[in-house]
Amino acid sequence: MKDAVTTDTPSKARVRTMARQGPALTLEIFPPKSERAENNLWSALYRLKSLNPDFVSVTCGAGGSSRERTTNIAKTMMARVGVPAAAHLTCVGVGEGQLEGVLADYWDAGVRRIFALRGDKPQDGSPVAMAYANATELAAAITKIAPFEIGVAFYPEIHPDSPNLQHEFDVLKAKQDAGASSAYSQFFFEAGTFLRFRDAAVAAGVTIPLVPGILPPLDFAAAARMANVCGASVPDGLKARFHAVEGDLLGNRLLSAAYTTDICAALKREGVEKFHFYSLNQADLTQAVVNALELAQ
């Protein structure tokens, strides 16, 4: 049901993100690589379940390498922890004639949401199966096979392959036309980065919910390295704040929680009511931020 919209609500963009058409809180995890990491993941998930997420999405490794692990974690998570799963699926790694089988496996396991992504080809140039050129083609193909709810990615600071912002909007609209029902952002370090993109995207004709991807930077150095790879900018002021707590475990955690809460609160003030947390398979920070913001329902 949509929230009531009064005449003095601010902008169309704001109204759109205020409308509760789907998940308010979603989480993302990745398939662990060792037994110990997997045990840690299950304990984290039991705690994260208390936040009542609409679903937890499970990434797949570069080049579609970990699809089997993605499937196993998604299935086990639903059966064991009792939270709905979304499976990430990349074009990279899906060969001609394989999609129906992959989707049937997810459908039979009770998965009803797919994140349709392109993925990235291996940097060493080794050959990969790739029957679909981009996420738009993949989303369109999924829609023809089964009524999955389809999520896609977007990049508030534009994708490294994109020539300009307008292209980013065009791609997002194409994904929407291909059947995507919501889009999840790359992480960013300033609320304004997301909000400017959201407002411009809505003005350009994007109508599906744009959900901010929130990365609580527990390990700031690692987050900054990831940002470098995916084209997200890191403000100097933030670098200085984390530099000041280097080597101070508690200080670092507190700063991470405070910073992430600040950014989410700023988004919330501007009408954002759906948040996708990159939990990095840990519960503490996501739990702290979600509780501070009273996002858990």
The contact set with ligand FAD (CB under 6 A) reads: 59-60, 62, 88, 90, 115, 117-120, 134-136, 153, 159, 161-162, 171, 174, 184, 186, 213
H-helix or E-strand spanning residue 85: strand 85-90
Q: Which residue is associated with the tokens 């349709």?
A: 116
| Burial class, 170, CB count within 10 angstroms (exposed 0-12 / middle 13-18 / buried 19+) | middle
223/255 with CB nearer ligand FAD? 223
Q: 153 by DSSP, 3-state: which?
A: strand
Q: What does the alpha-carbon distance between residue 34 and residue 205 come to, in Å, rounded to a whole number?
A: 44
Strand partners, 210: 183
Q: Which residue is associated with the tokens 């009792």?
A: 82
CB of 273 closer than 8 Å to CB of 17: yes
Asked about 28 being catalytic, the answer comes back as: yes
| Least distance between ligand FAD and beta carbon 123 (Å) | 12
Q: What does the alpha-carbon distance between residue 160 and residue 226 come to, in Å, rounded to a whole number?
A: 13
Q: What does the alpha-carbon distance between residue 228 and residue 220 come to, in Å, rounded to a whole number?
A: 12
| Least distance between ligand FAD and beta carbon 263 (Å) | 17
116/255 with CB nearer ligand FAD? 116
| Least distance between ligand FAD and beta carbon 43 (Å) | 22
CB of 135 closer than 8 Å to CB of 91: yes
16/175 with CB nearer ligand FAD? 175
186/279 with CB nearer ligand FAD? 186
77/255 with CB nearer ligand FAD? 77
Taking each continuous run of H as one helix and of E as one strand, the counts in the chain are: 11, 8
Q: Which residue is associated with the tokens 């140039």?
A: 125
CB under 8 Å to 259, separation ≥6 — which residues? 217, 238, 241
| Least distance between ligand FAD and beta carbon 58 (Å) | 8
Q: What are φ and ψ of residue 38, in 5° steps?
A: -70, -40
| Least distance between ligand FAD and beta carbon 247 (Å) | 31
| Least distance between ligand FAD and beta carbon 8 (Å) | 34
Q: What does the alpha-carbon distance between residue 163 and residue 155 come to, in Å, rounded to a whole number?
A: 13
Among 28, 157, 168, 190, the one annotated catalytic? 28
211/257 with CB nearer ligand FAD? 211
Q: Which residue is associated with the tokens 């992430």?
A: 260
Which residues are annotated as catalytic?
28
